[in-house]
Amino acid sequence: MLSSYFIIAYFLAMKTFQTAAEVIISLESIFYKGSCFDSAMNFLRESQIRNESMKIKALLDNGQTDQREFKATEYYLDFCFKKEEDYNKMRVNLPHYFQ
């Protein structure tokens, strides 16, 4: 009887922690919705004012440890488009904890 209590408590705790992780990912999408494009546009404007194209090194998305150089403005715009797409998917399939 006592062991079944601990088993049930374990599974309830696991469900809570999994939901918390999902909430954090969803809140990240909401946060980037407002700030990402503003930051990208400010960065683009500063690059044009300075008349230079800064390059950054970023890891590849496929999990490789190789790095590639990207134009920073293109990288930030692609990043923002990806975050916007995640936000739109979340809006279509609204998680139960936001209802």
For residue range 6-64, what is the model confidence (pLDDT) as tens digits? 888 887 878 777 777 888 888 888 888 778 888 888 888 888 888 887 777 776 666 56
Q: Considering its fold, how many domains does the chain have in total?
A: 1
pLDDT at 97 over 80: no
- What is the domain extent for residue 61? 2-98
* 0.85 surpassed by pTM: no
* Unique residue bearing structure tokens 């990912």: 25
User: What is residue 94's three-state secondary structure?
Assistant: coil
DSSP secondary structure letters along the chain:
-HHHHHHHHHHHHHHHHHHHHHHHHHHHHHHHHHHHHHHHHHHHHHHHHHT---EEEEE-TTS-S-EEEEEHHHHHHHHHHHHHHHHHHHHHT--GGG-
Write down the pLDDT at residue 65: 58
Kindly state the tokens that stand for 85: 């797409």
